[in-house]
Structure 1
Amino acid sequence: MSLRDFSLKFKGQSACVVENVDLTVAEGEILCIVGESGCGKSVTAMALMGLLPQDAAKIPSGTMVFNGKTIDMTCERIPATMRGGDVAMIFQEPMTSLNPAFRIGDQIAEAVQQHKGCTRAQGRARALEMLIRVGLPSPEQRLDQYPHQLSGGQRQRVMIAMALANDPKLLIADEPTTALDVTIQAQILELIRDLQRDTGMGTIMITHDLGVVAEIADTVAVMYGGQVVERGPMAEVFEDPQHPYTIGLMDSVPRLSGPRARLTTIEGTVPSIDTMPQGCRFRTRCPFAAPLCNARPALANVSETHAVACHFAPLEQNLKVAQ
């Protein structure tokens, strides 16, 4: 899947909440989109799935290429036959995503029947198969239980089972471990990674947790203010971050070794979308801000696979010259 020049604006707002975003995820690859709350991660995923209300969300530009099909997002939505079939999504909070009035087995079976055209019995058999596959304890019993009878981690496994029941080519996971404790988080991440390797599907993982990124990502895209400010292989971005925002995020992560010190913070707060500064949207919080930052920096390559939207990138070279 590739997304090109995607911009999104909500009714009543003067600026785009997501602007000129390019993303690519290959078959068998895990792309992590990381950034603070409000940076545009989840709303981009919702737009990809065609789940935003058309009367409130406008897409001025954007093209998605998926499985050989080109979708002009300014006037088309992802077809309903693809949503939940070729493209599936795991949401942040399974308790609000699962229907509390229906049994677990019926909800998974319905998704299978909708896309595979099978009988109810076949859909239920597939539901049981998927619950076994995601490691849910006592899967036969869980089929006839309701969401409130399961723990948070178990509900998330059900959501994963439902998302993968139709063998999607692309999985979008929107902060799937947010409401879970640490040990369950690790189990869910390991499950997603193992299933992704088994099926070869492309995966977009949305998170604000750099630990999750380090654990699971092949490539990473860092978003700030609705824009991608850095993109590249996970190892390269983590070993040599080039955008001041990425550096700030990484410096704010607690260290388990070394001398004890106060955590680094990024000064200021994220401006509202209507008060975003012109040019570089990070410049009002950036320690390297200069007059040229009044012009928007392009997302340009600093290596063959590593791109950064900063006038000073590569930092080691240009900041030394500027000083």
Structure 2
Amino acid sequence: MSKAIDLNAAPVLSVENLALRFKGAPANIIDGISFAVRPGETLCIVGESGCGKSVTALSLMGLLPRSVAQVMSGTAMFGDHDLLELSQRAMADLRGNTISMIFQEPMTSLNPSYRIGDQIAEVVLRHKSVTRAEARQRALQMLDRVKIPAASSRLDDYPHELSGGMRQRVMIAMALANDPAVLIADEPTTALDVTIQAQIIDLIEELQKETGTALVMITHDLGVVAEIADRVCVMYAGHMVEDGPVEAIFDDPQHPYTIGLMSSVPSVGPRSGRLAAIGGMVPAIDNMPSGCRFTPRCPFAQTNCAVSQPPLDELGPSHRAACHYAPLETVFPEAVFQEAGS
């Protein structure tokens, strides 16, 4: 559910024209990504696997090897800091302190050789002037905060002794231990069953409201987006193809890719015909189409779509789409209706 966000507040994280290329690649893996997130706001970045969502997050966290991933352009302003220009030492001082991340799979993110209480305490000790006893007490507080039952008896457990849902709660506790200004969550419920997914999303929402943390949620689950997002960025093949308030994206999607994503979501109620699907696959980095990268899969593609990349144009209040023919209903009224309503 959308929250009341102070749109006049300065963004806590502002990314402008981010382009990233892997060494030896013929094209940018991320190309011209721009977004901003304000205190207390939830921005969801959506798209299929391979669209560049996780790479975007890892680049902002400074977790891509600089010998492999080269920033071609752009800035990522976090307060007075450009995250893309910081040294590895300076980035390490911010990471886990004022900007944190929750990863997809907690079993590979937690160290199997260390007790969970020690792992949370280590995050606190790295960034705060506290004693080891105080850091351990903070770890206990965080386990309570993320609603792990009998937290005091769990402090000395190893990751393998916890369920998947509990491990993800530990990851959230670690990420929020120092009350960060920005939290990036990279598909934090992917490996969990549906019931536990809902609990984790509710927990993240609850903690965000308590702390006022800006949340960047990376997901392919449009149900999660509808529940928690204030704003949505839709990515395809490294490009941002549409962004806007969650209501605009769901009620009036304007990029063919966004329409395809919406149409492919199963509905609870009755429907006629087969579930819509987007034909084809996200192109590989060594086979990127010229012009609009969605052209080979787009039901509305015209000749010029394969020639020039459309700009991200304003369509409404804070609503933009990168399509030569947006708003689509003015050019393809019947086709858009069939795609979005099938």
Q: TM-score normalized by structure 1?
A: 0.97
Residues 264-283 of structure 1 deviation map (CA, whole Å, 9 limit, x = unaligned): 11111111111111110001
Deviation of the 1:70 alpha carbon: 3.7
Q: Could you say which residue in structure 2 is the equivalent of 1:129?
A: 141
Deviation of the 1:80 alpha carbon: 1.4
Q: Could you say which residue in structure 2 is the equivalent of 1:145?
A: 157
Q: Could you say which residue in structure 2 is the equivalent of 1:309?
A: 322
Is the partner of 1:79 in helix, strand or coil? helix
Q: Which amino acid aligns with 1:161?
A: A
Residues 14-41 of structure 1 deviation map (CA, whole Å, 9 limit, x = unaligned): 1000001001111100000000001000
1:253 is the counterpart of 2:253: no
**Pick from 84, 90, 93: which aligns with 1:73?**
84
Q: Could you say which residue in structure 2 is the equivalent of 1:174?
A: 186
Q: Distance between the aligned counterparts of 2:177 and 2:57, measured in 1?
A: 20
Is the partner of 1:289 in helix, strand or coil? coil
Residues 272-304 of structure 1 deviation map (CA, whole Å, 9 limit, x = unaligned): 111111110001100010012121000011002
Deviation of the 1:73 alpha carbon: 2.1
Equivalent pairs, count: 322
Q: Which amino acid aligns with 1:73?
A: L
Deviation of the 1:85 alpha carbon: 0.4
Q: Is the 8 A contact 2:62 2:83 kept in 1?
A: no
CA RMSD, Structure 1 to Structure 2 (Å): 1.6
Higher mean displacement: 260-269 or 187-196: 260-269
Q: Could you say which residue in structure 2 is the equivalent of 1:63?
A: 75
Q: Is the 8 A contact 1:61 1:74 kept in 2?
A: no
Q: Distance between the aligned counterparts of 1:173 and 1:236, measured in 2?
A: 23
**Pick from 31, 34, 43: which aligns with 1:31?**
43
5+ residue gaps, structure 2: 1-12, 336-342
Q: Which amino acid aligns with 1:183?
A: T
Residues 47-99 of structure 1 deviation map (CA, whole Å, 9 limit, x = unaligned): 000000111111111201112x1416267556211110000000000000000
Residues 213-269 of structure 1 deviation map (CA, whole Å, 9 limit, x = unaligned): 011111000000001000000111100000000000110011111235321111111
Q: Could you say which residue in structure 1 is the equivalent of 2:293?
A: 281
Q: Distance between the aligned counterparts of 1:302 and 1:101, measured in 2?
A: 52
Q: Could you say which residue in structure 2 is the equivalent of 1:88?
A: 100
Q: Which amino acid aligns with 1:182?
A: V
Deviation of the 1:321 alpha carbon: 12
**Pick from 118, 122, 130: which aligns with 2:130?**
118
Q: Is the 8 A contact 1:3 1:65 kept in 2?
A: yes
> Percent of pairs identical after alignment?
59
Q: Is the 8 A contact 1:62 1:72 kept in 2?
A: no
Deviation of the 1:122 alpha carbon: 0.4
Q: Which amino acid aligns with 2:319?
A: H
**Pick from 192, 199, 204: which aligns with 2:204?**
192
**Pick from 22, 42, 61: which aligns with 1:49?**
61
Q: Is the 8 A contact 1:62 1:74 kept in 2?
A: no
Q: Is the 8 A contact 1:231 1:237 kept in 2?
A: yes
Q: Is the 8 A contact 2:46 2:232 kept in 1?
A: yes
Deviation of the 1:4 alpha carbon: 0.5
5+ residue gaps, structure 1: none
Q: Which amino acid aligns with 1:47?
A: S
Q: TM-score normalized by structure 2?
A: 0.91
Q: Distance between the aligned counterparts of 2:164 and 2:280, measured in 1?
A: 34
Q: Is the 8 A contact 1:63 1:70 kept in 2?
A: no
Q: Is the 8 A contact 1:100 1:146 kept in 2?
A: yes
Q: Which amino acid aligns with 2:19?
A: S
Is the partner of 1:4 in helix, strand or coil? strand
Is the partner of 1:59 in helix, strand or coil? strand
Q: Distance between the aligned counterparts of 1:321 and 1:261, measured in 2?
A: 17
1:150-299 residue pairs with structure 2 within 5 A? 150-293=162-305, 294-299=307-312
Q: Could you say which residue in structure 2 is the equivalent of 1:300?
A: 313
